[in-house]
Structure 1
């Protein structure tokens, strides 16, 4: 049996690892949905007591599971405290830069003159 290496870093899981785990969760949920369909067919053929209740539960699972599976498959792992702190620091830097630009303009304002200068006025 192959042993997993010991994790000695705070680095996040690779994108490939994250994708693989999301794919496994998605396929598992879709398999449960398929089992609900098969179970509904078996329940109808066996004519079990409380059949409508069981069929409603199977149908609800078959409607809810695809929606939940897509949401879970498209979700990323939660950010760590360090990632959240780095994001907050970056937002603060951007905010300070924007405030500094609005307080101290970097160039002279442009003035547009509306007077039309003709050649005869230039010679006098």
Structure 2
């Protein structure tokens, strides 16, 4: 029986580096823009080939050319979901924020400069 190679052990909960996240988003964006270009080329080929149900195919290609850029930008600008540790830390920092009393804000005197006087 062959011995299975050991898998590396994950020793950290650290997120991907910013450069790795950016690279991943760039790959997704370029892939979706490639699909958009494919829709344009497919539409041109379908018109020249005179296929049956041509209007339906052209509508699908046009929808891909319109909605893929929008989706690509949304996906490319999105960050990875927060981990449990990040959500926990965000909740704790919200609880620790100091809150101003309502009467302390009214005690400050503000100087008004009148341009007419």
Q: TM-score scaled to structure 2, two decimals?
A: 0.78
Aligned with 1:68 (options 42, 48, 71): 71
Paired position in structure 2 for 1:114:
none
Gaps of 5+ in 2: 1-6, 110-117
Say yes or no: does 1:83 pair with 2:82.
no
**Moved >3 Å (runs of 4+):** 4-7
1:1-124 → structure 2 map (5 Å cutoff): 6-94=9-97, 97-98=98-99, 101-102=100-101
SS in 1 for 2:38: helix
Q: What is the Cα-based RMSD across aligned positions, in Å?
A: 2.2
Equivalent pairs counted in the alignment come to: 101
Q: TM-score scaled to structure 1, two decimals?
A: 0.74
Gaps of 5+ in 1: 112-124
Q: Distance in 2 between matches of 1:14 and 1:63?
A: 32
Structure with the larger helix share: 1
Higher Cα Rg: structure 1 or 2? 1
